[in-house]
Amino acid sequence: MRETRFAKLSAFVAVADCGSFTKAAAQLGLSTGSLSHTIRELEESLGVRLLNRTTRSVAPTDAGERMLTRLRPLFDEFEAAVDSVNAFRDRPAGQLRISVPPPVASFVLAPLLARFMAQYPEIVLEVSADPALTDIVASRYDAGIRLGHRVARDMIAVRVTDDLRMVVVASPDYLARHPRPTKPQDLHAHNCIRLRFPSGAFAPWRFAIGGKVIEIEVEGSLIANEAGVLVQAALGGAGILYVLEEFAAPMIASGHLVPLLEAWLPRPSEGFFLYYPSRRQNLASLRALIDFLRTNLAARTGSAEGKQRMISPKQPTKAQMTP
């Protein structure tokens, strides 16, 4: 009876966190119909409705919210208790869910994933590539990766890249057909490939001109909200691209993209951080991922920065909470 009740409560928390029976069912490995039946049984046994259902969304009722407030800490403690057994294993195991921006998923994580899974075969890693700033606590993620200034004050953050530098690049094919720009203003005569943020605004093209950082307005026939699409377009000779060096570095090294206007680029800005709530700091699978990223990204960039520092951009005092 207790096992059945626990399973039903777990299902309820999953649906409330996902805001969707379909998403929760996929996460739990159940059919949507089976999950819906489980929630109905739970509500009938309690004699109260826990979820308001519409054709577009699912949200907790007042009773559901009160139950969630009590259940979440209990489930966190349950997960911590199960994970504590990892200390007696040769290699960590368990599930790990992280939320990252799509470009980071493609250009930072993707080249390392096979190596991570080979090193930690008993960890099940789920990577959600989401351009929006996800609330990892409400969405039940173990961690996220974002730019340092976008990490919330109450999170613990670990630097996983150096400070970020922008680059202007084009393919040799494009440069064979168009004159190479020698100053930022020359970009007005080129087809510039532009990134649009989820907010609808364009990513700015900034340059150091006359001792100041100036934004240059550019035009072009290709716009996308995903950097991977734009990098591929630049590789194909579609135009000139302004992008984070981290995303273009392999193509620059291979000669498939050519850096431009290097003397005009502004100083590097704050890099990417892996961040997580303090309640997850002892999760063995998360510690394994953090150590792996700090080691492998530092090795890839030739920097020791990733190995040495664990910081919170807003709360440096949490630097001592090294997992």
138 Cβ contact list (under 8 Å, min separation 6): 17
User: Rounded to the nearest 5 degrees, what angle is found at the Cα of 228, between the Cα atoms of 186 and 152?
Assistant: 100
Using the 3D structure, point to which of 264, 281, 311 is the last residue of a domain.
264
Give the burial string for 64-96 (b: 16+ CB within 10 Å, else e): beebbeebbeeeeeebeeebeebeeeeebbbeb
**Percent of the chain's residues with pLDDT above 90:** 40
Query: 45 and 175 share a domain?
Result: no
Q: Are strands 223-224 and 143-147 parallel, antiparallel or unpaired?
A: unpaired
Q: What CA–CA distance (Å, rounded) separates 158 from 201? A: 28
Range of the domain at 285: 89-162+270-320
Query: 187 and 231 share a domain?
Result: yes
pLDDT of residue 251: 94
pLDDT of residue 130: 82
Query: 45 and 94 share a domain?
Result: no
Using the 3D structure, point to which of 83, 104, 134 is the last residue of a domain.
83
Query: 234 and 277 share a domain?
Result: no
DSSP symbol at 314: S
Query: 14 and 65 share a domain?
Result: yes
pLDDT of residue 1: 56
pLDDT of residue 10: 86
Query: 46 and 10 share a domain?
Result: yes
Using the 3D structure, point to which of 264, 288, 308 is the last residue of a domain.
264
Query: 241 and 105 share a domain?
Result: no
Q: What is the CATH number of the domain that holds 121?
A: 3.40.190.10
Query: 139 and 93 share a domain?
Result: yes
pLDDT of residue 94: 83
- SS3 string, 108-136, reads HHHHHHHHHHHHCCCEEEEEEECCCCCCC
Query: 288 and 141 share a domain?
Result: yes
- For 283, the 3-state DSSP assignment is coil
* Rounded (10°) CA dihedral 167, 113, 155, 68: 130
- For 42, the 3-state DSSP assignment is helix
Q: What is the CATH number of the domain that holds 225?
A: 3.40.190.290
C-beta separation of 231 from 247 below 8 A = yes
C-beta separation of 171 from 252 below 8 A = no
Task: Give me the sign of the Cα torsion angle 103, 109, 114, 117.
Answer: negative
Q: What is the CATH number of the domain that holds 21?
A: 1.10.10.10
Q: Which residues of the chain have pLDDT under 70?
A: 1-3, 80, 82-90, 298-323
- For 272, the 3-state DSSP assignment is strand
Query: 155 and 170 share a domain?
Result: no
Query: 223 and 276 share a domain?
Result: no
Domain tally, the chain: 3
Query: 249 and 276 share a domain?
Result: no
Q: Give Dmax over CA atoms of the chain in angstroms.
A: 75
pLDDT of residue 2: 64
